[in-house]
Amino acid sequence: MPRRPIQLPHRIESLSILDSEGNADPALDPKLSPTELKKLYRAMLLSRRLDERLLRLQRQGRIGTFGPAMGQEAASLGPAFVMKPNDWFIPSFREPAAMLWRGWPMDKIILWWGGHEYGASVPEGVNDLPICVPVATQCLHAAGIAWGCKLKGDPSVAFCFLGDGGTSEGDFHEAMNFAGVHQLPFICVIQNNHWAISLPRDKQSKAPTLVQKCIAYGFDGIQADGNDIFAMIVAAREAADRARTGGGPTLIEAVTYRLGVHTTADDPKKYRSDEEVECWKPKDPLVRFHKYMVRTGLLDDAAVELIEAEIAEEIRQAVERAEKYQPDPMDSFRHTFAEMPPSLAAHAREFLESMAALSSDDGTEQPEPRQLADA
C-alpha cells in the first residue's frame, strides 16, 4: 500500500471578533440588541466586583481559600448567555460570571467559599451543578448528564468547564471519548489561562493547541479568544445549535489569562514575571467590552457610575446575608440519604434530645421541635 495522508473529517478553527481597542469585526459580530449588550456588560462588571470583594473577605479571614476569576469573565459568561434554562451547567470553580447569569444568589457563592454546604444547593429553575474543585472530575458528570439527555430525547445540552490543567487528567479524556463515541449533546469549554497553578501551558502539552484534542475523539472544536465576549458567544452558539440537532459534541478552547492568583493560598510571583501579566492586561475582557460599549454609544461615565453604585450595594447586602446565615445542624442527618434509615433517624433524635438538654442548661437557641419530626 502506498504512503498517503489520512483525511480527517473533523476540523478546528480559531475565532476572534472584538479587538483590544473595542472594535468588532462586522462580518462576525453576533448582532446583539442594546438591551442584551447592557445586561452582559453589567453581568461582567458584577462578576469582577464580586471577585474583588471575595478576595478582600478572604484576606480578612471571613471566608476560606478563594480562587479568583479576574480576567476570565468572558470565557464563562459567553456560553452562559447561550444556554437555555433547561441546559445543564457543570462548572469547575472559576465561573462566577456564568453562575450569576444563571441565577445563583451572590450570598450562596460567598457561603460556598466560606465552607458552608448551603452554598452548593442549586437555585430553583436551573439545571446546574455546584462548584467543583477536584480537577476534571466534573467532565465525567457532564458526559453522563449529556448521555441521559440523549437517551430521554431531551434537547438540553450539557456545558462543562475546566482549566488547561484539567486536560492532563484521565477524567477529561474519558469524558471526551465517551461523548464522541455516543455523539452526545456535550460542550466542553477549556479555560486555557496559561497556568495550571505554577505549571505553564507549554509544560502541560506540546500540542500547538489544546482544542486539537477533539480530533482524536471524533468531533469538531474551535479555539476562541476567551477574553472576547463576542467570540465566546458565537463559538458557544454554534456548538449548541449543532448539539441540539444531533450533531454531537464540541470542544471549545477559550484562550484567556489568569490575571490574579491561582487561589489565595498561592503566590504567582514565585513562578511568573510581572512583565508577562502586564502584557495580558490590555486584553482584559472587561476593558475591551467597556471600550466597545463606549465606542457604540451604549455606555458613558454617568451610566458606569450608576451601575457601580448599584453593584456595590448588591454585594454589600449579599455579604450581610451570608454572614447572618445560621447553618441547620440537622442538615447533616437530612442530606446523607434520600430516605433516612431507622438507625440514622435514631441518631438524629438522640442528637436533638442532647441539644435540648444543653439548651435548658445554658439558654442557647436550639433546633425547633419540627426538626425532630423531619428527622
* Average pLDDT of the segment spanning 224-248: 98
**Residue 317 grid cell:** 447586602
Rounded (5°) CA angle 226-142-184: 95
271 catalytic residue (yes or no): yes
Q: Would you say residue 33 has pLDDT above 50?
A: yes
Scanning the chain, the segments in alpha helix (DSSP H) are 34-59, 73-82, 96-101, 106-113, 137-152, 170-181, 201-204, 213-216, 229-244, 274-280, 285-295, 301-324, 331-334, 342-362, 369-374
Q: How far apart are CA 33 and CA 51, in angstroms?
A: 27
Asked if residue 307 lies in contact with residue 45, where contact means CB atoms within 8 angstroms, the answer is: yes
Asked if residue 152 lies in contact with residue 366, where contact means CB atoms within 8 angstroms, the answer is: no
Of 41, 262, 288, 292, the active-site residue reads 262
**Residue 344 grid cell:** 440514622
pLDDT in tens, 143-189: 999 999 999 999 999 999 999 999 999 999 999 999 999 999 999 99
Spell out a b/e string for 227-248, using b for 16 or more CB atoms within 10 Å of the CB, else e.
bbbbbbbbbbebbbebbeeeeb
Q: Would you say residue 358 has pLDDT above 90?
A: no
Q: What is the mean pLDDT of the chain?
A: 94
pLDDT score at 334: 86
Of 56, 271, 335, 349, the active-site residue reads 271
pTM, entire model: 0.92
Residues of CATH 3.40.50.970 domain(s) within the chain?
A: 12-324
* Average pLDDT of the segment spanning 200-218: 96
pLDDT score at 366: 52
CATH 3.40.50.970 fits 12-324, yes or no: yes
Count of positions (residues) in the chain: 375
Residue type for 112, please?
W
pLDDT score at 325: 94
Smallest CA-to-CA distance from 83 within 40, 126, 43, 122 is with: 126
pLDDT score at 331: 85
295 catalytic residue (yes or no): no
pLDDT score at 99: 98
pLDDT score at 373: 45
141 catalytic residue (yes or no): no
- Give SS3 for 12: strand
pLDDT score at 369: 40
**Residue 154 grid cell:** 431531551
Q: Which residues contact 223 (CB under 8 A, 6 or more apart)?
A: 12, 13, 14, 15, 209, 210, 211, 252, 253, 255
Q: Would you say residue 359 has pLDDT above 60?
A: yes
DSSP 1: -
Of 53, 102, 116, 258, the active-site residue reads 258
pLDDT score at 10: 85
Instruction: Report residue 356's pLDDT band, with 50, 70 and 90 as the boundaries.
Output: confident
pLDDT in tens, 332-355: 888 889 899 999 999 999 999 988
Q: How far apart are CA 276 and CA 239, in angstroms?
A: 32
